[in-house]
Amino acid sequence: MLEVSGAPMRAQEIQDAADRGAPGIGLATVYRALKWLIHSGDVVLVELPGDTPRYELAHQHHHHHFSCRSCGRVFEVDGCPGDLAKLAPQGFAVESHEVVLYGRCAGCVS
């Protein structure tokens, strides 16, 4: 009933996609569905610096994101630099981290 592509989508993009399958879907309905899905843990809010909020299917595995400066699309990145706790100053307790890569995606590099 709610199609979420592999990449994090903006609420507006989700509405567009939903509207393509079932014309007449309102933004309010999209937000209502997102509210549920986030609450149930099926969807996760993804906020990248300087970008409007996006939503993606909740994955079990830890991952990060790649933002293409050319086309604006956001991709998931499986790898992780690993232990970043040692970067923090003495006495700081690191509980989690976010990594965002910027550059050009395969489609925009060529």
Partner DNA sequence: GATTAACTGAGAATGCATTATCATTATCCA
Partner DNA sequence: TGGATAATGATAATGCATTCTCAGTTAATC
Q: Name which of DNA, a copy of itself, none residue 62 binds, using a CB cut-off of 5 to 8 Å depending on partner kind.
A: none
CB atoms within 10 A of CB 14: 23
* Crossing angle for the helix pair 27-40 and 11-21, to the nearest 10 degrees: 110
Task: Please identify which residue in 1, 22, 28, 93 interacts with a copy of itself, judged by CB under 8 A.
Answer: 93
Specify the stretch interacting with a copy of itself by CB under 8 A; choose among 2-10, 11-19, 32-40, 92-100. 92-100
* Residue 36, token pair as written in the block: 């549920």
Q: How many residues bind a copy of itself (CB under 8 A)?
A: 39
Cβ-contact 100, 49 below 8 angstroms: yes
Task: Please identify which residue in 21, 53, 72, 103 interacts with DNA, judged by CB under 7 A.
Answer: 53
Q: Does 102 bind DNA (CB under 7 A)?
A: no
Cβ-contact 78, 63 below 8 angstroms: yes
